[in-house]
């Protein structure tokens, strides 16, 4: 059971939505009659509505499973500890959890030498790579709302994936805040490089080979009081870190004479939060492990998809607490899944590999918790809407670690 404030919330009381990294905190949830899906109030955000449909506001009947057979949590933890103890190189994937879950994951990863990579690891690594290589100027949603006068959408309109984005920025409320879309000519890399050259004055705005729309945008950026360049790492192609570096080049140039910043939209489903926690506990981001030769960070080699395809890991621990997706990949490995009770765990695994499924609570729905917002510096508290009767990821991992230590005779 959760050791959290699971006090039922009044229907229209403020609630922090955990279903995308904007973490909107001005909407409510209606808990209807037993069995009815939760309903969002104050917004018609399709992403939140779709996610809330997976919760019914009453205790969950789902039970842990070992090799497809239902049992109690103690048996499931013992089986999971046995799988972990036998593994020579575990992989922790998904990583859909909050701060407390991430802290527990880190401790277990250190005990087992596990490699950790979130479900959208490639997207997260693009941002990290650019930050490591070049650094960057970034801003917060609050600053965009209060100070920016120009938002430039560098990777298409963000409201398709982040429906409340423009409302959060105050678009439509302030007359002086304008939104521009990047006119892409050729590919995105060429377009960003050309825009960077125009903004820096390395190409004349009267050169005929330069698209007029791009010239107009460069002038608009130079005239803006405070421009914010918004991008989604998840929409970038392979080697997208180079595009992020190009965006940061534009921002840095503008900051010589005016004010500008970038805003990255990504790191949902706990990815950014787990990355922050691992960074503050170890000094390294994800795609790291505490191995035999100490801490190792391998941003390319520790790609979960690659490790699974190469057969470089022999066990998978998958964590996904925000909804039935993302489900674990259908790898033929022993695996432990801590997931939403409605998750369909793919059947395509070796029948004798060993499989444990433990349903867990969702932060912000059945459990309290904390998540980092997309702007990185804001940690939002999440409040439980009702008691779903499920343990949190952090609680399960704590007990799993204890069971693992017990199976090793108390040795860590």
Which residues bind to ligand SF4, rule: CB under 6 A?
Answer: 17, 19-20, 22-24, 27, 43, 45, 47-48, 162-164
User: DSSP characters for 171-234?
Assistant: BTTBTT-EEEE----S-HHHHHHHHHHHHHTSS-TT-TTS-HHHHHHHHHHHH-SEEEEEE-GG
**Minimal distance in Å, beta carbon 165 to ligand SF4?**
7
**Minimal distance in Å, beta carbon 40 to ligand SF4?**
7
CB 287 within 8 A of CB 298: yes
CB 90 within 8 A of CB 314: yes
Rg value, the chain, Cα: 23
**Minimal distance in Å, beta carbon 127 to ligand SF4?**
19
**Minimal distance in Å, beta carbon 377 to ligand SF4?**
17
Burial class (CB in 10 A: 0-12, 13-18, 19+), 237: exposed
**Minimal distance in Å, beta carbon 122 to ligand SF4?**
21
Considering the complex, state which of residue 124 and residue 250 has its C-beta at the smaller distance from ligand SF4: 124
Considering the complex, state which of residue 20 and residue 148 has its C-beta at the smaller distance from ligand SF4: 20
Considering the complex, state which of residue 21 and residue 334 has its C-beta at the smaller distance from ligand SF4: 21
Considering the complex, state which of residue 134 and residue 145 has its C-beta at the smaller distance from ligand SF4: 145
Considering the complex, state which of residue 113 and residue 170 has its C-beta at the smaller distance from ligand SF4: 170
Burial class (CB in 10 A: 0-12, 13-18, 19+), 169: buried
**Minimal distance in Å, beta carbon 166 to ligand SF4?**
10
Considering the complex, state which of residue 46 and residue 204 has its C-beta at the smaller distance from ligand SF4: 46
> Count H helices, E strands: the chain?
12, 17
Task: Say what the alpha-carbon torsion angle 165, 168, 169, 175 is, to the nearest 10 degrees.
Answer: 110
Considering the complex, state which of residue 24 and residue 261 has its C-beta at the smaller distance from ligand SF4: 24
**Minimal distance in Å, beta carbon 42 to ligand SF4?**
9
Structural element, H or E, at residue 397: helix 393-407
Is the omega angle on the peptide bond into residue 326 within 30 degrees of 0, that is, cis? Answer: yes
The first and second tokens of residue 141, run together, are: 């949603």
């Amino acid at each position: 059971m959760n050791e959290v404030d699971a006090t039922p919330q009044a229907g229209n009381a403020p609630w922090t939505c955990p279903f995308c990294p904007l973490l909107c905190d001005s909407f409510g949830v209606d808990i209807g009659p037993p069995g009815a899906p939760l309903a969002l109030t104050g917004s018609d955000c399709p992403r939140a509505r779709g996610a809330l449909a997976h919760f019914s506001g009453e205790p969950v009947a789902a039970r842990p499973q070992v090799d497809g057979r239902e049992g109690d949590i103690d048996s499931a933890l013992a089986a999971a500890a046995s799988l972990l103890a036998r593994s020579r190189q575990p992989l922790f994937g998904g990583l859909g959890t909050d701060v407390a879950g991430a802290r527990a994951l880190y401790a277990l990863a250190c005990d087992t030498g596990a490699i950790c990579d979130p479900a959208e690891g490639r997207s997260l690594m693009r941002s990290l790579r650019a930050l490591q290589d070049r650094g960057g100027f970034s801003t917060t949603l609050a600053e965009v709302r209060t100070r920016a006068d120009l938002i430039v959408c560098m990777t298409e309109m963000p409201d398709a994936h982040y429906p409340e984005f423009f409302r959060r920025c105050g678009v439509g409320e302030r007359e002086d805040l304008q939104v521009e879309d990047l006119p892409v000519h050729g590919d995105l890399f060429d377009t960003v490089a050309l825009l960077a050259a125009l903004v820096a004055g390395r190409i004349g705005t009267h050169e005929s080979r330069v698209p007029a729309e791009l010239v107009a945008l460069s002038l608009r950026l130079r005239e803006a009081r405070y421009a914010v360049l918004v991008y989604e790492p998840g929409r970038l192609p392979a080697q997208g870190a180079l595009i992020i570096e190009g965006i940061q080049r534009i921002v840095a140039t503008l900051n010589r004479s005016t004010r500008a910043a970038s805003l990255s939209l990504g790191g949902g489903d706990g990815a950014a939060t787990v990355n922050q926690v691992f960074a503050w506990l170890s000094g390294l981001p994800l795609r790291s492990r505490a191995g035999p030769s100490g801490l190792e960070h391998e941003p390319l080699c520790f790609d979960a998809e690659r490790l699974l395809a190469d057969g470089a890991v022999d066990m998978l621990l998958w964590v996904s607490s925000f909804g039935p997706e993302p489900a674990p990949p259908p790898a033929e490995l022993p695996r432990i899944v801590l997931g939403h009770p409605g998750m369909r765990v793919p059947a395509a695994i070796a029948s004798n590999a060993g499989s444990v499924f433990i349903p867990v609570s969702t932060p912000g729905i059945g459990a309290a918790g904390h998540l980092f917002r997309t702007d990185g510096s804001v940690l939002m508290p999440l409040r439980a809407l009702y008691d779903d009767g499920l343990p949190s990821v952090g609680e399960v991992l704590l007990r799993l670690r204890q069971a693992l230590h017990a199976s090793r005779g108390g040795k860590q």
